[in-house]
Amino acid sequence: MTFKAEYIWIDGTEPTAKLRSKTKIVADGAELPLWGFDGSSTNQADGGSSDRVLKPVFTCPDPIRGGANVLVLCEVLDTDMTPHSSNTRAALVEVAERFAEQESWFGIEQEYTFFKEGRPLGFPIGGFPAPQGGYYCGVGADEVFGRDVVEKHLDLCLEAGLAISGINAEVMPGQWEFQVGPAGPVEVADQLWIARWLLYRVAEDFNIAATLDAKPVKGDWNGAGAHTNFSTKAMREGYDPIITACDALAANAPAHVKHYGAGIEERLTGHHETAPWNEFSYGVSDRGASVRIPWQVEVEKKGYIEDRRPNANADPYLVTRLIVDTCCSALEKAGQV
């Protein structure tokens, strides 16, 4: 007997990588082998030397095919078995291991937008729907578009065993969010990539496209982000480490923003619940700050912080690596671990 293994990887498309996948038939009981692909078709190689290697790194049940079938997230390697230049996971694994004893947790809020026939789901032909205001967490056929896809996606993520923690309708019609976490940096990022793949895949069955574009509609419409909630063991136990983490993010703001997703200047304008991309701020309950300290965290004097800057199209391997590196080294320096 055999099962189907869907090998999923992140390609080399610039400025925002895309997901790719293909199916391998594997004999029952066999290990998931290394596999290869044509890197010249994915911006990961020249035609003359095109072979790239897929190395399985995370496996879960395939909730689309069911049965014994699996989804297999892979890292891309060169044929000498070193990480390919598009492989951002390998560097995260190193940093995560270096700071493992600080026990970092992440919860990522993935916003996205459904498109059909060239416009966001719920937008009328050649025009705009009623202005924003009633759509966020709305109910009813005049305010909510695509719920059948969203519900199906949630069920698939749960069946796959992902740490999905919730969903909600967003501020713009056709825009939604799901959250993954809390989980460690590598785990949350692997699972987010799989959840993204499942989103595209299930939307395909509804003849709808999902996009992570950070500003899918220009003008007075909210962009799409990937708010990244973060804590270490010390932050979950006290307030000084929370402030240390915020100050460290302040000191490293430009280096973070640079890797928080393509087109970030268009989304972080200072309007639509964002802070300007080139001015760092943090504050309690402040949805106009770069980093928000939730109100309960200030009351309880412990908990987590929310980095509101990452774009919906950000690479979670980059975002979590930068945050762990910046905050955990600052906490270490401050003797707050």
Closest to 274 (Cα-Cα) out of 211, 213, 217, 225: 225
Closest to 183 (Cα-Cα) out of 192, 175, 174: 192
Residue least distant from Mn ion (Cβ): 227
Shortest Å distance, C-beta 304 to ligand ADP: 4
Convert 260-274 to b/e letters by CB count within 10 Å (16 or more is b): bbbbbeebbeeebeb
* 35-94: contacts with ligand ADP (CB under 6 A): none
Tally: H helices and E strands in the chain: 9, 14
What's 63-88 look like in SS3? CCCCCCCEEEEEEEECCCCCECCCCC
Under rule CB under 5 A, residue 109 binds Mn ion: yes
| CA–CA gap between residue 321 and residue 337 (Å, rounded) | 18
Under rule CB under 6 A, residue 236 binds ligand ADP: yes
| CA–CA gap between residue 112 and residue 11 (Å, rounded) | 20
**Where does this chain touch ligand ADP (CB under 6 A) — which range of 28-36, 77-85, 204-212, 299-307?**
299-307
Residue least distant from ligand ADP (Cβ): 107
Closest to 17 (Cα-Cα) out of 84, 72, 79: 84
| CA–CA gap between residue 161 and residue 255 (Å, rounded) | 34
Under rule CB under 6 A, residue 179 binds ligand ADP: yes
**Where does this chain touch ligand ADP (CB under 6 A) — which range of 14-22, 26-34, 154-162, 230-238?**
230-238
Under rule CB under 6 A, residue 272 binds ligand ADP: no
Q: For ligand ADP, which residue of 88, 231, 252, 313 counts as binding (CB under 6 A)? A: 231
Interacting partner of 236 out of Mn ion, ligand ADP, none (Cβ under 5 to 8 A depending on kind):
ligand ADP
Q: For ligand ADP, which residue of 181, 185, 225, 241 counts as binding (CB under 6 A)? A: 181
**Where does this chain touch ligand ADP (CB under 6 A) — which range of 71-79, 90-98, 101-109, 327-335?**
101-109
Q: Residue 292 corresponds to which tokens in the numbers above?
A: 């928000």
Shortest Å distance, C-beta 207 to ligand ADP: 28
Binding site residues, ligand ADP, CB under 6 A: 105-107, 109, 165-166, 179, 181-182, 227, 229-231, 236, 303-304, 306
